[in-house]
Amino acid sequence: MLAQSGSGTPPGGAEWLHEVKWDGVRGILARNDDRVAMRSRSGREMAASYPELVSAAADLEPGTILDGEIVTLSSDGVPSFELLQRRMSLRAAGRVAEAAASVPVTYVVFDLLHQPAGTMIGTALEDRLARLAALDLPQGIVQSDTFADADPLWGSVVERGLEGVVSKRRRSPYRPGTRSPDWIKTVAFKSLRAVVGGFTEGEGGRHGGFGALILGLGTDDRMRWIGSVGSGFSETDVRAIRQALDEMTVADSPFEPHPEMPTGVTWVAPVLVAVVQYKEWTAAGRLRGPSFKGFTDHPAAEVTWEAEGPEAPGG
């Protein structure tokens, strides 16, 4: 189940419950009779990437299925997608043990979809949360706090620089695969998904890496250039991403021609989708103040100007 984008501040009223919008990777965790499975939104198996969570989930009762977010906390207790991206980079390099030891993760649960007695998806949210609270969750798996009053939570989210708030109707069922108005996400900063179509060469401390990723959004024919992002990367990110980009190079630009496009760009197949935080859209349709937050497995074909551009909900 997915949330629709809201604007301004979270909705008010007694029908809503509110929680932090966690800046991590969404995952469904299932404790079956003989194993633990963890799958991403796209259905990709993620269990091998988070062995400590799999080990912890083995203590859950068979037949338990949870919905939540895999998060990494910074030293000041704030969710950090940058740290989580570092872990994913280590995992991609085959350094699983090092990833688990150096970048610990927590699975923050916000829904209970199934329990040994049967499915919970047709049950009201507040009842699912009550059942979830009654579970003896193992170490490393915690339940997300919910609040009846959005105002204090929103104030705290803005003050601490968190991603936003998700508001959910108390009596709503769980609708798998649906982006429902029963869930509303209100972000404290603007972010979008964008397709990587090329990169510039790195200079100075980034020699041998890249300077910036060239970003675009799909149109009817090709991609519309929306700017470049060169901040938000660690040194590890730059090396790992450059290695991946070198395997994706193509001869021709995937973008519509534009006179202000940077020169000296190496083009890549438009398959990588980046999450980018930004201040605002310029009048020319470019991102102002973009910062890289990580990659997502969202299908590149769905990352379009209509879905993510300035006129899109939440844009």
Q: Which residues are catalytic?
A: 21
73 pairs with which residues across the strands?
79
The tokens of 313 are what? 């909900």
Single-letter code of the amino acid located at 105: V
The answer to whether the beta carbons of residues 59 and 68 sit under 8 Å apart is: no
The tokens of 242 are what? 């450059």
End-to-end C-alpha distance for the chain, whole angstroms? 21
What SS3 state is found at 40? coil
State how far the Cα of 64 lies from the Cα of 135, in Å rounded to an integer: 10
The answer to whether the beta carbons of residues 19 and 156 sit under 8 Å apart is: no
State how far the Cα of 183 lies from the Cα of 16, in Å rounded to an integer: 9
The answer to whether the beta carbons of residues 36 and 30 sit under 8 Å apart is: yes
Query: Please, what is the Cα angle at 146 between 140 and 147, to 5 degrees?
Result: 150
What SS3 state is found at 305? helix
Give the residue among 65, 70, 77, 76 at the shortest CA–CA distance from 111: 65
Give the residue among 97, 99, 81, 79 at the shortest CA–CA distance from 89: 99
